[in-house]
């Protein structure tokens, strides 16, 4: 303990007091006949937490005489030990000379105390009776009177004893303590009856009362501790019980669990929704019956908030609590019982139903029906589907550089001019040297004078950079009527059958017949 943790004040050379920061108060004084007296006042916070010469400060008297080596001096039926044992007890706590605060030198011979019995035997029976009367039955007074031969000192001993007893009555008294209940569960507008139990360490009679301000409609039996209370709202109140033994008292504030469940709600005392008055007033939760919600089950519940219908199906609350209706099930599902509440997949396009459409068709189930649609690249009503020949359409492939190949449900265009060295386009790189010259015979229906221009347009569109030029030849003897002769110049990597194949494909679009290429 530091120097600032205590203070000493001497009112005279014969009386000093020390006050410690923890509340400990020690007074030492010298009385007549050079008697040294001391009184220690210990705060209540030290109770059950302080150990000294008289053992632990508690209501347990069996450990009051604790020797310096930790052994207890036994006592019979909680009576003080014999004088011999008390002497041994005192000697065990004797302070060694180097540590003594007393300036007087130690005695040359050990102290040989005389017991009370030895002192009484030195007097006659008449003297003993008179001394007992004078000392009012106090053996401490009798002992000191005989040991010192001073009746005045004996009377001082008697006065000190009486003073100690009066102080012990006030300071040694322990207040009663409430032991139960620590928690009270109650409902608004319902009367709760509960009995408080308190214990007094000194065994004194206990009385009960309520500390003001007390909640309305609250009373407690002063003798039996029976509390009667009817909480009116969930507004916080504080209920404080005072227990007294006539000399001292203590206060106790139980934790109040207040329930206000409505519409048949069940109080959940283990679930706290509001914690008020520093935890002494707690509003508990409610388990609401079907159809009600809210903090106290005061609201009609919107059952649709819980999404009781099948996923994605609309829910509609009814006026009656807990009732609702659901919309229709999704297109590929049907209700099982209540509409839209539980929906089950009913896919007529999937097992265990046999596939109702053509193998090249898509099936779409719609509740109790289905529709069949041919897949892209096929035509038909879905129950019968045939492949579409995309190569019959001139614009399927970009131009004559490509060869069109029909596949089931699709089409492929293969580049005729693709070489390993080509990296872009189809025959778009520089043409090889030289060229191919072909004779083309075309029958126009009807015969047209601008046939050369039409042929150039057809070949330029179909072969692009592979077509060089064209010229019209004079008709030869024996040529069929209406047939025109032309000479065309193509790239050297364009064979005649590329031209014949392309001209045959486009002939119907340009009214051509009798096409020949050589």
Q: For residue 209, what are the contacts with CB-CB under 8 A and spacing of at least 6?
A: 220, 222, 241, 242, 244
Each residue of 78-91: pLDDT tens digit? 678 888 888 888 88
Report d(CA 404, CA 462) in Å as an integer: 13
- Residue 55, CA distances (Å) to 51, 86, 167, 201 in order: 5, 14, 20, 17
Choose among 263, 261, 264, 286: nearest CA to 273: 286
Q: How many residues does the chain have?
A: 518
The model's pTM is 0.40
Choose among 196, 197, 206: nearest CA to 246: 206
Report d(CA 432, CA 493) in Å as an integer: 7
Tokens matching residue 479: 């040529």
Determine phi and psi for 99, rounding to 5 degrees: -100, -5
Tokens matching residue 496: 């005649």
Report d(CA 159, CA 180) in Å as an integer: 42
Tell me the pLDDT of the chain (518 aa) as tens digits: 456 788 999 999 899 999 998 888 999 988 877 788 888 888 878 888 888 777 788 877 778 888 888 888 887 776 788 888 888 888 888 887 777 776 677 677 777 778 888 888 888 999 889 999 999 999 989 998 998 888 898 898 899 888 888 877 777 678 899 999 999 999 999 999 999 999 988 788 999 999 988 999 999 999 999 999 999 999 999 999 999 998 888 999 999 999 999 999 999 999 999 999 999 999 999 999 887 888 999 888 777 887 889 888 889 888 777 788 898 888 777 777 788 788 877 777 888 778 889 999 999 887 778 899 999 999 999 999 999 998 888 888 888 888 889 999 999 998 888 765 655 678 888 888 889 999 999 988 888 888 899 999 999 888 888 888 999 988 777 777 778 899 999 999 889 999 998 888 888 888 888 888 98
pLDDT score, position 1: 45
CB 407 within 8 A of CB 481: no
Domains and their CATH numbers in the chain: 1-29+39-46 (no CATH), 177-287 (2.60.40.60), 302-341 (2.10.25), 391-517 (3.30.70)
Report d(CA 311, CA 224) in Å as an integer: 62
pLDDT score, position 5: 84
- Residue 258, CA distances (Å) to 69, 217, 238, 297 in order: 55, 15, 12, 15
């Amino acid at each position: 303990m530091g120097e600032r943790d205590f203070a000493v004040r001497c009112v005279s050379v014969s009386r000093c007091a020390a006050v410690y920061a923890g509340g400990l108060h020690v007074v030492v004084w010298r009385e007549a006949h050079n008697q040294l007296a001391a009184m220690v006042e210990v705060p209540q916070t030290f109770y059950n937490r302080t150990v000294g010469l008289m053992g632990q400060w508690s209501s347990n008297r069996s450990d009051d005489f604790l020797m310096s080596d930790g052994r207890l001096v036994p006592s019979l039926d909680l009576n003080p030990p014999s004088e011999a044992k008390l002497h041994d007890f005192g000697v065990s706590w004797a302070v060694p000379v180097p540590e003594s605060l007393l300036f007087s030198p130690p005695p040359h011979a050990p102290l040989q105390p005389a017991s009370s019995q030895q002192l009484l035997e030195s007097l006659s029976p008449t003297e003993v009776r008179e001394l007992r009367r004078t000392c009012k039955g106090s053996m401490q007074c009798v002992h000191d009177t005989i040991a010192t031969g001073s009746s005045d000192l004996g009377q001082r001993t008697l006065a000190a004893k009486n003073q100690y007893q009066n102080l012990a009555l006030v300071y040694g008294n322990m207040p009663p303590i409430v032991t139960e209940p620590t928690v009270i569960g109650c409902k608004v507008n319902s009367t709760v009856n509960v009995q408080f139990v308190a214990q007094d360490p000194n065994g004194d009679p206990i009385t009960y009362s309520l500390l003001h301000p007390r909640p309305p409609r609250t009373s407690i039996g002063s003798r039996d501790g029976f509390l009667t209370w009817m909480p009116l709202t969930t507004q916080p109140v504080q209920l404080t019980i005072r227990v007294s033994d006539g000399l001292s008292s203590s206060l106790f504030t139980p934790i109040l669990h207040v329930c206000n469940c409505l519409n048949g709600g069940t109080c959940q005392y283990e679930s706290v929704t509001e914690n008020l008055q520093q935890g002494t007033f707690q509003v508990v939760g409610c388990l609401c019956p079907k159809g009600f919600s809210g903090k106290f089950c005061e609201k009609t519940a919107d059952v649709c908030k819980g999404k009781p219908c099948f996923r994605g199906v609309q829910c509609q609350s009814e006026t009656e609590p807990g009732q609702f209706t659901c919309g229709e099930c999704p297109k590929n599902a049907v209700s099982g019982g209540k509409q839209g509440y539980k929906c089950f997949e009913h896919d007529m396009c999937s097992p265990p139903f046999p596939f109702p459409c053509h193998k090249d068709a898509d099936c779409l189930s719609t509740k109790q029906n289905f529709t069949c649609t041919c897949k892209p690249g096929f035509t038909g009503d879905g129950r019968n589907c045939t492949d579409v020949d995309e190569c019959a359409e001139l614009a399927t492939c970009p131009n004559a550089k490509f060869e069109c190949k029909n596949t089931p449900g699709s089409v492929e265009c293969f580049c005729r001019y693709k070489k390993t060295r080509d990296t872009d386009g189809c025959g778009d790189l520089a043409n090889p040297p030289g060229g191919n010259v072909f004779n083309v015979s075309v029958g126009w229906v009807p015969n047209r004078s601008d046939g050369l221009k039409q042929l150039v347009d057809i070949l330029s569109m179909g072969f692009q950079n592979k077509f060089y030029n064209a010229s019209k030849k004079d008709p030869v003897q024996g040529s069929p009527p209406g047939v025109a002769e032309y000479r065309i110049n193509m790239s050297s990597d364009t064979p005649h059958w590329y031209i014949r194949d392309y001209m045959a494909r486009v002939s119907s679009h340009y009214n051509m017949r009798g096409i020949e290429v050589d």
